[in-house]
Structure 1
Amino acid sequence: MERRATFRAPLLPWLLVLPQLLIVFVFFYWPSGEAFRWAFTLEQPWGGGREWVGWQNFLEIFVSTHYWASVRVSMIYAFGTSALAIVIALLLALFIDREVRGSRGWRVALIWPYAVAAPAIGMIFRFVFDARAGVFSLLNAVSPGFWDPSMNGTHAMVMLIFAGSWQLIAYNFVFFLAGLQSIPRPLTEAAAMDGAGPLRRMRDIQVPLLAPTFFFLVVINLTDSFTNSFGLVDIMTGGGPARATDIMVYKIYSDGFKGLDYSGAAAQSVILMLLVVALTFIQFRFVERKMRYR
């Protein structure tokens, strides 16, 4: 039987949701509306009015080689970070889910890194991967010039992917562990009694039943990699070297606040928002339909 909340005063429900509506409007709809308005106008760097230019800002973006290079770099970072974070988190959850001595302590230890702020993560990994003083400087001691993220774009991207995936592993671990604990124990116990080893049970029972969780985390990780990676890039590489890590969200910042191209940055933010919406729609519309259990 479905129960629905009723209020004697028709105004009371609106008063209850009014604070949340104000927060959503002030921090989401209003900035989004301003970005759309700026994207179709030419904003003066130092104020003094704006001029309606229509699709000119978008056309300039689409013919820019630097912008398409930023899109390519963002794709590499997003897919690399998501794949690494999901695979490692899944393996950790599979092993921690087994009731062994000390497993509860490991669960807490693997969750807390998600609380670390992105700038702090950037500073830590920047020192660890530093070619002169970090742990990776030992590689240069063996082979001089082998590792240098400050000069080599590939090294900088690898460093950035490791930092981004480390931040997401704890988040993914929580969901994978919750998904594993929701699997009925009689299934794995029956498989064990039939002679299936731990790896066989993981492959044939646990991992297939985690398909909805896996799909959800793919969407969340890709979206987070496209939109919430500014802090890492700003602290670790600053978009360099030679724009090798100039991802889309950082390019919006550098063009808008450093280059004072407010209109171009607003147009880029609109494109990024539409890209994330389209990516999420495609995954929910087509990928989810292919999930079937036998």
Structure 2
Amino acid sequence: MEKRATFSNLWLAAALVAPQLLLVFVFFYWPSGEALYWAVTLEPPFGGSNQWVGWMNFETVFADPKYWNSVRVSVIFALLTTALSLAIAVLLALFVDRRLAGHQIYKFTYFIPYALAAPAVGLAFRFIFAPDAGFVSAINRVFPNLWNPALDGTDALALIIMAQAWNMAGYNFVFFLAALQSIPRTLVEAGAMDGAGVLRRMRDIQLPLITPTLFFLVIINITDSFVNSFGIVDITTNGGPARATDLMVYKIYSDGFQGKDYSLAAAQSIVLMVLVVSLTFLQFRFIERRVHYS
């Protein structure tokens, strides 16, 4: 019969756990509690104690067509960004996994985008894809007004999708490469001996074996697209033109810090948190069934 492991020094265990619990409380539970309090109260226009209003802020949010537009744009942004970033990362990882000449340099180079802050990425893409400068201006001279994120909402949405996907590609690349390198070489070599080409081995051997990693990255990328895209949107498009890139996280900022409606912004933040948790639950409930860990 196995004995249960015990830890006699409880004070030392508490001291080791306390910093992490403090960080979780200060940076998650406390802000979440404050947001919930603001969401069910209303601040008087000239100061004073908050007035209890119950679900009124949520009713105002759900009755606003601009909010539903931000939800639609956020879902499109999250799906396209996740698909593009994962596709780029898995291709880069497959190339590096083949150990081509200079593959060690590629490992470092491909990870660099993730080391950059989101505002820096947004600023870089804003100048690179400016319609009146760089290589895009040469295209616009041949095809006038083909690309103009300042005036065309589709172009603006495409711009922030490319920026976010480029920023996350390095993070995804590291995980995909680790997953590919954990596959026994004998399986790939056996496929090659049976006459399977590079693409066939990739599709039938390598990709099915890295589905747990793919599932993990889908969750991480979708969550990141909803909550960590503010910096890119703020620098590149400011939510425009005509609210074409007004993501949920950016609308929370614009309503709360620019419009000074803290209660409405708090209600939106609670809705965003519930949405992200629900999406994660649905992915674990239905998509994980298709993932094989052995």
What range is the shorter-chain TM-score in? over 0.9
Q: How does 1:1-294 map to 2 (within 5 A)?
A: 6-44=6-44, 47-292=47-292
Residue aligned with 1:47, SS: coil
Which AA in structure 2 matches 1:109? T
Deviations along 1:104-145, whole A, 9 cap, x unmatched?
111111012110011110110000111111321112111222
Normalized against structure 1, the TM-score is what? Answer: 0.96
- When residues 4 and 85 of structure 1 are mapped into structure 2, their CA distance, relative to the original with a 3 A threshold, is farther
Q: Look up the SS of the partner of 2:135 in the other structure.
A: coil
Contact 1:61/1:264 (<8 A) preserved: yes
Over 3 Å counting, the alpha-carbon distance change for 1:256 and 1:2 in structure 2 is farther
Give the TM-score of the pair, scaled to structure 2: 0.96
Question: 1:93–1:176: 8 Å Cα contact kept in structure 2?
Answer: yes
The answer (yes or no) to whether the contact 1:45–1:262 under 8 Å persists in 2 is no
Q: Spell out, residue by residue over 1:33-92, the C-alpha distance to the aligned partner (whole angstroms, 9 max, x if none).
A: 000111000023553221000000000111100000000010111111101000111111
SS in 2 for 1:217: helix
Cα distance in 1 for partners of 2:161, 2:4 equals 47
Of 129-138 and 159-168, deviating more is 129-138
When residues 3 and 36 of structure 1 are mapped into structure 2, their CA distance, relative to the original with a 3 A threshold, is farther
Number of aligned residue pairs: 294
SS of structure 2 residue aligned to 1:61? helix
2: distance between equivalents of 1:46 and 1:37? 19
3-state SS in 2 of match to 1:11: helix
| Whole-angstrom distance in 2 between the partners of 1:274 and 1:60 | 17
| Secondary structure, aligned partner of 2:160 | helix
Distance 2:159 2:2 in 1: 52
Change (3 A) 1:3 1:149: farther
* Root mean square deviation of aligned Cα: 1.7
8 A Cα contact 1:38 1:262, kept in partner: yes
Instruction: Describe the SS at the equivalent of 1:162.
Output: helix
CA distance in 2, matches of 1:259, 1:242: 17
What displacement does 1:5 show? Answer: 6.0
